[in-house]
Amino acid sequence: MITFDDINIMYGDFIAIKDLNLTINEGEFFTLLGPSGCGKTTTLRSLVGFVKPFSGNIIIEGNRVNDKPIEERNIGIVFQSYALFPTMNVFDNIAFGLKLQKKSKCDIEKSVKDIAMKVDLNKEQLSKKVSELSGGQQQRVAIARALVMKPKILALDEPLSNLDANLRGQLRVELKRLQREFGITTIYVTHDQEEALTISDRIAVFNKGFLEQVGTPKDIYNNSKTEFVTNFIGDINLLQVKIKTELGVPLENKAYIRLEKVYLEPPFEDLTRYQAFEVMVLEKEYYGNYSKYTFKYKEELVRNYVMENERYQLNVGDNTKIYIDKKAILQFKE
Ligand SMILES: Nc1ncnc2c1ncn2[C@@H]1O[C@H](COP(=O)(O)OP(=O)(O)OP(=O)(O)O)[C@@H](O)[C@H]1O
């Protein structure tokens, strides 16, 4: 178990992390999520030992580690700044830490080959220089180099951010599989909300050095506790005056509705739950299996998703009805 107990982190006079209290359970895939500059990397760096908190305690398995050097914390590190050795071959990159520990040649060979197989690097690739590998393969080497040391904790800072979307998706699944297989507590930094939702057991959402909410992906998405989290996670409509009035929402409240809670047809019989609006199709973005629509209601805009099928053939300029699920409106006092 990892605990951040009342942690404050300063860079000079600037408070990068303010009063952080957070517990990460053993074996969890835990993601630190938030926009650029919110402090997620700083939090991870403090856990690893690159940054020292100004106050508070970082506790790993009951031991305060604030003053422990990096190499004594038993954390596998996959950071952009923690680069591989480009001119060394893959085998030697993965073996580097084991050699420092003066393991026998035979043990090293076995450990490197085992881990290479797990991360899908073949024999041929082991003898290549890192600079001869693709971005995705290099990330596999970085992950293998961390895992080969059998750390208790794996710390990853945006490990997939330089890869194209397809490869990112594929490596995400593999990373999750490895984490399950090794049962390793994993702390993962990303600014990508979709990545966080798909990969994590729990997510901590940060904003300007503050922890906004901690929860499972479902919690964070369906029960966003703050306006910031509501806006940051997923695509959402901010409702304007005329629509709010029709819905009976107090005008002084900010009101949001997720795109998937705006329907072309109410999904349940309970018609009191859905408010109908006569709208015009203003824009249609086609994504293959679904389209994203923007509708206009008396100069106010509402968007939704519609799965592509024969049933709804809407075009720009068409008039139609949409139904807003009143139970799904998220309201915040201004
Ligand atoms: N070495 C440093 N010296 C001074 N300020 C820093 C330093 N490192 C980070 N900061 C500041 O601390 C804040 C948090 O930075 P941090 O890197 O933790 O954010 P982040 O959420 O990981 O963002 P990103 O996704 O852009 O890396 C930012 O305002 C940043 O400018």
- pLDDT values of the chain reduced to their tens digit, one per residue, 334 residues: 999 999 999 999 999 999 999 999 999 999 999 999 999 999 999 999 999 999 999 999 999 999 999 989 999 999 876 788 888 999 999 999 999 999 999 999 999 999 999 888 999 999 999 989 888 889 899 999 999 999 999 999 998 887 888 888 888 888 899 899 889 999 999 999 999 999 999 999 999 999 999 999 999 998 899 999 999 998 899 999 999 999 999 999 999 999 999 999 988 777 789 999 999 999 999 998 899 999 999 999 999 999 887 677 899 999 999 999 999 999 998 7
- 22, 153, 232, 259 from 35: Cα distances, Å: 19, 24, 8, 21
Cβ-contact 109, 72 below 8 angstroms: no
Query: How many whole angstroms from 29 Cα to the centroid of ligand 1?
Result: 23
Q: Quick one: tokens of 232?
A: 């940051």
Q: Quick one: tokens of 9?
A: 């982190």
pLDDT at 52: 96
pLDDT at 272: 87
Rounded to whole angstroms, the Cα distance separating 123 from 332 reads 56
The dotted CATH code for 2-231 is: 3.40.50.300
Rounded to whole angstroms, the Cα distance separating 259 from 237 reads 7
In this structure, the residues whose C-beta lies within 6 A of any atom of ligand 1 are: 11, 14, 16, 34, 36-42, 191
Exposed (0-12), middle (13-18) or buried (19+): which is 174, by Cβ within 10 Å? middle
CATH 2.40.50.140 in the chain: give the residue spans. Answer: 236-333
For ligand 1, atom 17: residue with the closest CA: 41
Q: Which atom of ligand 1 is nearest to the CA of 191?
A: 25
pLDDT at 161: 82
For ligand 1, atom 12: residue with the closest CA: 16
Query: How many whole angstroms from 38 Cα to the centroid of ligand 1?
Result: 7
Query: How many whole angstroms from 209 Cα to the centroid of ligand 1?
Result: 9
Query: How many whole angstroms from 14 Cα to the centroid of ligand 1?
Result: 10
Whole-complex ipTM? 0.95
Rounded to whole angstroms, the Cα distance separating 54 from 11 reads 9
pLDDT at 333: 85
Q: Quick one: tokens of 161?
A: 């951010």
Q: How do beta strands 29-33 and 185-190 pair?
A: parallel
Q: Which atom of ligand 1 is nearest to the CA of 12?
A: 4
Q: Which atom of ligand 1 is nearest to the CA of 42?
A: 18
For ligand 1, atom 28: residue with the closest CA: 37
Taking phi first (over 0 means left), then psi (-120 to 50 degrees means alpha), and beta for anything else, what does residue 135 get? alpha
Query: How many whole angstroms from 39 Cα to the centroid of ligand 1?
Result: 6
pLDDT at 310: 65
Cβ-contact 334, 253 below 8 angstroms: yes
CATH 3.40.50.300 in the chain: give the residue spans. Answer: 2-231
Query: How many whole angstroms from 11 Cα to the centroid of ligand 1?
Result: 9
Give the CB-side neighbour count of residue 134, counting CA atoms within 13 A. 8
pLDDT at 249: 95
The dotted CATH code for 236-333 is: 2.40.50.140
E-strand spans in 34-102? 55-60, 63-64, 75-78
Rounded to whole angstroms, the Cα distance separating 277 from 290 reads 22
